[in-house]
Structure 1
Amino acid sequence: MNDTFTRVSSPGGSVHAGQGHIYNFHSCTTSSSAQQPAGRSPRRIADDQLRLLRQRFVDPTGMGEARRLLVEHSTVILDGPPGSGRSAAARVLLYELHQSTGIFRELLPGDKEEVALTDAGLVGPGDRLLLDLGEADMAGWWKYRRDLSALRKAAQEQHAHLVVVMPPDGTLESDLQPYRAEISCPPAQEVLRRHLRFHQIPHEEYLQSAPASAEFLDAPRSMEEIADFADRVRRARGAHRTPDDFAGWCEQARDARKTWKHEVAGLVAERCTAPQRALLCTTAMLHGAHADVIHRASALLLRTLKTPRDTVHLLEGKDLAERLTEISASAGPDGHVRFDRLGFDAAVRVHFWDHMPDLRPLLSAWADRTAELVDRHLTEDLRRELVRRLADQYLRTGKWRELAALADKWGTGPAHPVRPDAAIHALSCGLESKQYGANFRELVYTWCRDKQLAGDLAYVLLRVCTEVMAPTHPDQAMVRLRHLARREHGGATPALDALCDLVATSSRLRRRMLDRLTRHSSAPATDARLFLRICDPVPLTDPGGSPRALLDESYVQGCVTTGWRAVLVHLPRAHWHPYAKRWLHTASDAGDHRDLLLDLLVDAADRDGTSLATLYAVARAAEPTTSSGSAHGVTTTDRLLQKISAAQGLRPTAASSRPAPPRGTTP
């Protein structure tokens, strides 16, 4: 199969109601030839993630001072004990700025793709930068601390904002002390209630007396622990277990903090038949699914394991309710199956994975086949959760390469409506992993650049780059999208479209991409095709919120000249003609930038008579379609002719004479 891929389609968005990042995935209904990206900009996705974080955030002590420092000095360095919510506070501070320009971005010092903190091109106009060193060791903190002054200065110059999270017990130089804000944990009760409200638990419920909640909050708790407790209360409420009130939910949430390790081991030892263990494992992997799904998936697991079929007559065997009772589970009033103890499902998954290692590849095959089942109760959320639970076991035990191989299998295998989404979910779990995120970013880079794009893999990589990587790591996403775009052929260019959308969010990204396409190109003809889309004259001449337009920078002018020269040399006129026409239209309307736009085109022709004549012919043809009127088009064409004549060493011709075209081919 070749590396060509085409545009893909997807429906609308989804809602996040839990902890951590939000990644929006959408089901595909056919193969990649009928799919396309969701179309939401990375900035919008990042802002949505930060907005959801803000909704469940309670200001820690010292947050007001942090806000003041960030507004007055464009920089704040957060200090505080572990568990005080420093990273969340940093993100909320940046979200509250509501900049009209720039993007949110997490800096990754030490990452081989990340430029140094002192690099002048690191900060873009209006950017919101997060440098989270909260878990750095003292050697790492000392290394990056030296560059903070230069980074802070760059942020000020670009009207950007920088929030740094420093490690506990870290030290600061005297020149950085004025930007330090110390925060401490907010009231635990208020944090818990904010999370419960976020989970849509009515206040008349959580204001009831709950001894287990009070017991939990009596001990010092990190913000993450409180959020996790609130989420367990939410799950207990949805399970409808007795006692079914707030005090009972809190008791279940408290008990769910147990690992249930010995209880699970005892249950597995007691339920030693294949059907019992298959039902136990299936219930854990599909916890909360409808009983019909549990029944079918359990039977599918037995078939996957090639277990002989039970010869007992259907009416003589145990019904599903009895079998569920044997494994300490039951179906609730809504027909959905859950274990009787909260958190028991996670313990069962861990037990089977750790103590039956030969089962692991078969579980992956079973998950694949289960996700493909056609059942109205098997929702997209349930399929996503199944992949996540499987991925968690791979990552928990350090098997990230095996998870990547599974994503590869799902992405490149035979076409099926659910396989691409499964691959996306698996890769996203790897990318959001603190321990293995860098490994997966490198893997995605290698796949985008070199791997055969069989099956739906190109679509999978496109979605991962645009919806998972770009919101927080736009530079890395941009590089990977460029490699995908270089491999596109034919009329549809979804990766190039996504790349254009991404660079449109930041002048810094556009500058960096122009540099890569013109100064560091290993495939001039291919990159010339991409250059025409990235080198849009309108954003180049529009300063937006910056002090000056990109095209006013001499370095960008050099990139533009080099890029257009490659276009004129390597691409046919039919391909670049509409882009040159847009360039000339912009010149007619650009006022102060008119001469510069024309100069760059003429310089790109490098005194080649054929190229100059072709440019002149394009200008003549574009005159009637200039938005500001044909008179402006005529003026632009005459000005272009003067510059062409000067480049060829000819005497300038009066504009009104409308002379023959310059030496070369006739228009």
Structure 2
Amino acid sequence: MSTEHTTWVGGAQSVTHTGGGNIHVSLAAAAHDPRKPVFRQLPEDQLRWLRRVLVAPVNLGRVRTTLEETGTVILDGPPGSGRTATARVLLREHHRRVGAFRELLPDDQGELLLRDPSLVDPGDRLLLDLSGAEAGPWLTAQRDLPALRRTVHERRAHLVVVMPHDGVLEPDLQHYRVEIAPPAFPLEVLRRHLRAHGMPNEQFLRDDVTVDEFLSERRPMREIGDFADRIRRARESAGPGEEFSAWCAAAKRARAGRRVEVADRVTGLLEASQRALMIAVAMLHGAHADVVHQAAALLLSTVGSPEEETPLLQRKDLAQRLSEIAARSGPGCRVRFTELDYDSAVRAHFWDHMPDLRPHLGTWVARVVESNDPHLVPDVRDGLVARLAGEYLRTGRADALAALAEGWGAQGAGTARSEAAVQALTCGLADPVHGREFRERVYQWCVYRRLTGAFAQVLVQVCADVLALTHPDHALIRLHHLARRERGTAHALRALCDLVAGSRRLRRRLLDRLARGDLASADLAIFPHISDPALLTDRSVTTRALIDEEGVRRALVACWSATLTDAVSRPERERTALRTAIQRWLHWAAEGAGDRGEVLLDLLVDAADRCGDHRGSAFAVLYASARRAEWTAPSGGARSTDLTDLLLQKIGAAQGLGPGTPSASAGGRRS
């Protein structure tokens, strides 16, 4: 494996988690269909959101001008000044029909090096966030920046580097450095967020003592955004008659934390049913009352609590039971705690102070997601899994979360459990602390673990719709291993083809990866699917087709040579797939490749010429396939016949049996 590394947010491809809190991803039925790009619209939504809430930092105009004039800007500024948000918004402003928004992570194993020219595609918008880098990695990155800048300039891409504040910058890079400062009016930042949350102006354009107190201290931009989100959530859960000041006060109380308050209340709850209901509300916060009631009963049975012996009509009703735990059922029968962020404090309390409960919670969540309650919609189910995953990750138990996800996706798991496994792994991959560990674990599963059909499908979904966003090169490698190993299905192969379909860079890398590998039978089965001649000769994005690149041609010759060698050593009846692949190349060479048609022929002949002892048989297969292609040509056989004659001349020349290859102009006259 090469030691290369990147993160991208492709033209709209998947899940990104850039702040604190839970991450909720709705997979629905697409979890068992890897062809559906479930997450691929989310990043563009996030970039639009950043654009809506960003208040221009000091010096934004100079940053924008430097990026426009040079294609590169190195962004400096104190922590909390909005450096990363500014970088993302600026790159979004340079959105074009070609290229993708990608975040580069050079310190991650498995991504391309910054100085590697294949890292950049035309029109790419690249973010290199090194704001938290230590001195060593920052100096290493600076050594590679000139080469990266050169490639960015040549390919008309754009690069924003966020440097460590007060870090040492090489003199020849100082020209690209611009320092920003936080907006002069933090109240405007808060109001911009509230406006973006849909709150009417008249509700927040008034003085409020809580807001004044909060903003009296210098706050990072992210903290201001988090406080605005708490105000928004307080408004949504507020009782009748409450106004802006009450929402702000609730946000302030929630920000202070509720751990002590929750601990005192739990101490007073002596019945198992009370605590089960409290846990169910915390894990299913905002879910329908029927779902919460059923989940509480399932939790009691999961932990082995005896059934209640009180006659049904003498038991407390749900409204009374909810009031005992400071919760209530609101509009639409949605159950919530009466205090903001009480649910997260409850989850943390039981997780931290009742460790013996943790294994039961995994079993319980699996039982809940499999229940058939009509109110258990995908968002609720995914939120439940995300909250459980959040506790594993908060307490550094990434291994246990991975094992739980693997168990959920094991042989015989139903759709609901498989979707839960995808959701759990999504949370792990999105976690800023444990994401790298989960990427490595997914790699180990894809390469070495004996996979069941159900869990293999979980991994395909995770790689195609989650990892492909943040680490497309990682997704490529893992899907390649899955495609090589799958039997009886083609889910991983389809996902691999979909991944490279939208990226010349990834197609180039996969071809190179195949050519440099051992080209076993599994790889030879993959090669025809990722060597579509129409895409190899396409020049709609740039004037240079992939097939014009020396490295691509070298990889194609190596793969075709191995394919021909393998096929001619097999019985005639087993050569159907080979003939189909060759005929596709010949049809495109005759009908759609234009002046690149002869290049396609040259690559086939060169590959056959390198087949060693099978060289003659390989030439024979090419010629026989060309003759068959004449009968199946899309627009008649005249061009195909001429192409066959040209192919025969090239084969003769390769064998030293005739004159040199006709010139391109002569070939054009014959057509």
The two structures have a TM-score, normalised by structure 1, of 0.90
Over 3 Å counting, the alpha-carbon distance change for 1:114 and 1:16 in structure 2 is closer
Over 3 Å counting, the alpha-carbon distance change for 1:45 and 1:504 in structure 2 is farther
- Is the 2:72–2:149 contact (alpha carbons within 8 Å) kept by the matching residues of 1? yes
C-alpha deviation, 1:330, in angstroms: 1.6
C-alpha deviation, 1:398, in angstroms: 0.5
Q: Deviations along 1:292-326, whole A, 9 cap, x unmatched?
A: 22211111111111111221222222222222222
- Is the 2:127–2:160 contact (alpha carbons within 8 Å) kept by the matching residues of 1? yes
Which residue matches 2:29? 28
C-alpha deviation, 1:446, in angstroms: 1.4
Q: What are the equivalent positions in structure 2 for 1:69-468 lying under 5 Å apart? A: 69-186=66-183, 187-241=185-239, 244-468=242-466
Which residue matches 1:659? none
- Is the 1:18–1:199 contact (alpha carbons within 8 Å) kept by the matching residues of 2? no
Q: Deviations along 1:157-185, whole A, 9 cap, x unmatched?
A: 22222111111111211211111122222
Q: Aligned AA for 2:322? A: L
- Is the 1:45–1:471 contact (alpha carbons within 8 Å) kept by the matching residues of 2? no
Over 3 Å counting, the alpha-carbon distance change for 1:333 and 1:535 in structure 2 is closer
Gaps of 5+ in 2: 1-12, 568-573, 663-671
1:647 aligns with 2:643: no
Which residue matches 1:591? 594
Over 3 Å counting, the alpha-carbon distance change for 1:463 and 1:498 in structure 2 is same
- Is the 1:444–1:461 contact (alpha carbons within 8 Å) kept by the matching residues of 2? yes
Which residue matches 1:51? 48
Over 3 Å counting, the alpha-carbon distance change for 1:243 and 1:350 in structure 2 is farther
Distance 1:583 1:455 in 2: 34
Which residue matches 1:494? 491
- The one of 611, 615, 624 aligned to 1:617: 624
Which residue matches 1:4? none
Distance 1:165 1:344 in 2: 36
Distance 1:416 1:178 in 2: 58
- The one of 534, 537, 541 aligned to 2:533: 537
Which residue matches 1:636? 643
Q: Give the 3-state SS of the residue equivalent to 1:216 in structure 2.
A: helix
Q: What are the equivalent positions in structure 2 for 1:539-578 lying under 5 Å apart? A: 539-571=535-567, 572-578=574-580
Distance 1:16 1:516 in 2: 27
Q: Aligned AA for 2:593? A: A
C-alpha deviation, 1:246, in angstroms: 2.1
Q: Aligned AA for 1:121? A: S
Q: Give the 3-state SS of the residue equivalent to 1:105 in structure 2.
A: strand
Distance 1:25 1:454 in 2: 24
Q: Give the 3-state SS of the residue equivalent to 1:181 in structure 2.
A: strand
C-alpha deviation, 1:501, in angstroms: 2.0
C-alpha deviation, 1:59, in angstroms: 2.8
- Is the 1:107–1:131 contact (alpha carbons within 8 Å) kept by the matching residues of 2? yes
Q: Deviations along 1:619-666, whole A, 9 cap, x unmatched?
A: 2222354456532222211111100111122125999xxxxxxxxxxx
C-alpha deviation, 1:599, in angstroms: 0.9
C-alpha deviation, 1:435, in angstroms: 0.8
C-alpha deviation, 1:190, in angstroms: 2.9
C-alpha deviation, 1:359, in angstroms: 0.7
- Is the 2:534–2:588 contact (alpha carbons within 8 Å) kept by the matching residues of 1? yes
- Is the 1:482–1:499 contact (alpha carbons within 8 Å) kept by the matching residues of 2? yes
Over 3 Å counting, the alpha-carbon distance change for 1:355 and 1:413 in structure 2 is farther
- Is the 1:192–1:230 contact (alpha carbons within 8 Å) kept by the matching residues of 2? yes
Over 3 Å counting, the alpha-carbon distance change for 1:45 and 1:489 in structure 2 is farther
Q: Give the 3-state SS of the residue equivalent to 1:334 in structure 2.
A: helix
Distance 2:39 2:356 in 1: 43
The CA RMSD over aligned residues, in Å, is 2.6
Gaps of 5+ in 1: 1-12, 656-667
Q: Aligned AA for 1:62? A: N
The two structures have a TM-score, normalised by structure 2, of 0.90
Q: Give the 3-state SS of the residue equivalent to 1:312 in structure 2.
A: coil
Q: Which runs of 4+ in 1 moved over 4 A?
A: 13-24, 652-655
1:63 aligns with 2:60: yes
Distance 2:128 2:558 in 1: 35
- Is the 1:128–1:162 contact (alpha carbons within 8 Å) kept by the matching residues of 2? yes
Distance 2:504 2:429 in 1: 26
Q: Aligned AA for 1:269? A: T
Over 3 Å counting, the alpha-carbon distance change for 1:24 and 1:620 in structure 2 is farther
Which residue matches 1:660? none
Over 3 Å counting, the alpha-carbon distance change for 1:481 and 1:46 in structure 2 is farther
Distance 1:93 1:71 in 2: 10
